[in-house]
Amino acid sequence: MSRYLGPRLRITRRLGTLPGLTNKQSKKKTSPGQHGKNRDENSKKSTQYGLRLEEKQKLKFNYGITENQLFSYVKEARRRKGVTGLILLQLLEMRLDTICFRLGFAPTMASARQLVNHGHITINGEVLNIPSFQCRINDIVSIKQKTSSKNLVEENLKMTQLNDVALHLSFDKEKNEAKVLNYCSRDDILLELDELLVIEYYSRR
């Protein structure tokens, strides 16, 4: 299944706030569709499968990944030692496009992916155009030494609504350079979801 390219506010009306998908807010309070109801009313009638599916959809739409990619991350999280749900979130947060978004280099995850694809971002001094690249601790994420790249990111930094950089990252505003200090903690995740339900959704696969 390919990435979603349709109306984003329609998704946030159904799933709630998704900071990685869009920073806009819909004026409508009901779910999309002719018989849309308030999210509180819908949640009372959801089945266990429906709740798990909704949490999985939140993760997929927020990080802008495909179904196959998400399932691959779940399998990798299961393989590693530790709490599977937290490891899954850490894998997604260590993606290069996610780190660019968390630093404020781009307003959404989709624009962060495009920023990386177009070669504006470097890792340890080398240009890398793979959004799904898994950054490691002590990696240096910076902007390509090119005027167009710097201007683009600086404009995004002015527009971004993220006031504080995540604790697992350090950011030098003068150099526009960041360092990955550690894996993120559960409290650093911007998205509101129950990751255990996502693991349960994939438990039969």
Phi-psi domain of 125 (left: phi exceeds 0; alpha: psi -120 through 50; beta: other): left
Residue 36 identity (one-letter amino acid):
G
Band (pLDDT 50/70/90 cuts) for residue 8 is confident
Distances (CA, A) of 110 to 20, 32, 57, 86, 114: 8, 22, 16, 23, 6
Q: Which CATH superfamily is domain 95-182 in?
A: RNA-binding S4 domain (3.10.290.10)
Where are the domain boundaries for CATH 3.10.290.10 in the chain? 95-182
Q: Taking the model in full, what pTM does it have?
A: 0.86
User: Within 10 Å of residue 38's Cβ, how many Cβ atoms?
Assistant: 10
- In this prediction, residue 205 carries a pLDDT of 74
Contact 23, 107 (CB under 8 A): yes
Which residue intervals of 94-165 are DSSP H helices?
96-103, 109-117, 147-159
Contact 90, 183 (CB under 8 A): yes
Mean pLDDT of 21-33: 69
Mean pLDDT of 157-166: 71
- In this prediction, residue 1 carries a pLDDT of 43
pLDDT tens for 79-107 read: 999 999 999 999 999 999 999 999 989 99
Where are the domain boundaries for CATH 1.10.1050.10 in the chain? 8-90+190-201
- In this prediction, residue 19 carries a pLDDT of 87
Mean pLDDT of 151-161: 82
- Angle between helix 109-117 and 147-159 (nearest 10): 170
Percent of the chain at pLDDT > 90 equals: 55
Tell me the CATH number of domain 8-90+190-201, given options 2.60.40.10, 1.10.540.10, 1.20.120.420, 1.10.1050.10. 1.10.1050.10
**How far from the centroid of its chain's Cα atoms is residue 129's Cα?**
17
Locate 184 and state its tokens. 């993120």
pLDDT tens for 40-79 read: 555 455 789 999 999 999 999 999 999 999 999 999 999 9
Residue 141 identity (one-letter amino acid):
V
Measured distance CA(65)–CA(137) in Å, rounded = 23
